[in-house]
Structure 1
């Protein structure tokens, strides 16, 4: 299989998503960092990018459709990561109030309200508890989502055959 073939590139994108999700779970379960609501949404968007990349790699047909789906997931993830980066720049007195635990929200709120509340973020989302090379986790996520979006655009406009 040619390394630059669309199927190979989609599979490499899938592996990158697995690496991103694996890093998130490592930081949660091994380092002890609890994900905030926006972090959970970013994981869902990474999973979406990875799932559509894997399907595109296995299916091998209609790469433009999969590219669009990956682009939508990447843009959604970039939006949530960008919101979290913005929250991290706010002064403490301007932050939204903390949210109840997700389990409580699932038991007491309609799903549409839960999703809206999670996208809104909270003071928990503004806490910077880990950095690598001076960038926080949401900043790294934002860079990764921008990379996935660019990958999807290139794959969409890539000349076939």
Structure 2
């Protein structure tokens, strides 16, 4: 199996595991996702779908691989920005945390989708609450780490020939 196909498949599987963990945390542990968490999930799903399509398509040329890798990098950058925003909200002193807002379900019922996205991007007090950590790192910290890994894997895929030529 070609390296690019294996790497895209690995990214897809990692995204599937991240979503399984997110659903476990929500439905078994009872940790309800905030609006920024929901947007990060969309980014993880987007990365996973693009990576799966790339693995299934298995483009032979450099152009196809570059397009898929570029899309994964863009989605990873968006996800990393969302995770960074949430980490910033979590770092605020208690008196500067925005007020808690209504649930995502209510927002989707009461507002147009673009308004819901804008509200979610601003973040709420729910987004600033640290409800779970592993090794001292909160959920958006681990999500940021995953997005950085996905982007690095794709950068490696794009430039591996140049790296091999220089050695």
TM-score bracket for the superposition, by shorter chain length: over 0.9
Deviation at 1:31, TM superposition (A): 0.9
Tell me the equivalent position of 1:143: 145
Deviation at 1:156, TM superposition (A): 2.2
Question: Among 57, 64, 80, which residue is 1:78 paired with?
Answer: 80
TM-score (normalised: structure 2): 0.90
Tell me the equivalent position of 1:49: 47
How large is the RMSD of aligned CA atoms in angstroms? 1.3
The alignment covers a number of residue pairs equal to 158
Question: Among 89, 98, 101, which residue is 1:99 paired with?
Answer: 101
Tell me the equivalent position of 1:159: 161
Deviation at 1:159, TM superposition (A): 2.7
Q: Distance in 2 between matches of 1:67 and 1:12?
A: 13
Tell me the equivalent position of 1:15: 13
Tell me the equivalent position of 1:34: 32
Question: Among 56, 59, 76, which residue is 1:58 paired with?
Answer: 56
Query: Which stretches of structure 1, 4 residues or longer, exceed 2 Å deviation after superposition?
Result: 156-160
Structure 1 gaps of 5+ residues are: none
Q: Distance in 2 between matches of 1:157 and 1:57?
A: 18
Instruction: Summarize deviations over 1:90-127 as a string: whole Å, max 9, x none.
Output: 01111112121222212221221111111111110011
67-76 vs 93-102, which moves further: 93-102
Structure 2 gaps of 5+ residues are: 163-167
Tell me the equivalent position of 1:113: 115
Instruction: Summarize deviations over 1:22-65 as a string: whole Å, max 9, x none.
Output: 11111111111111111111111000111010001010111111
Q: Distance in 2 between matches of 1:141 and 1:132?
A: 12
**Aligned with 1:33: secondary structure?**
coil
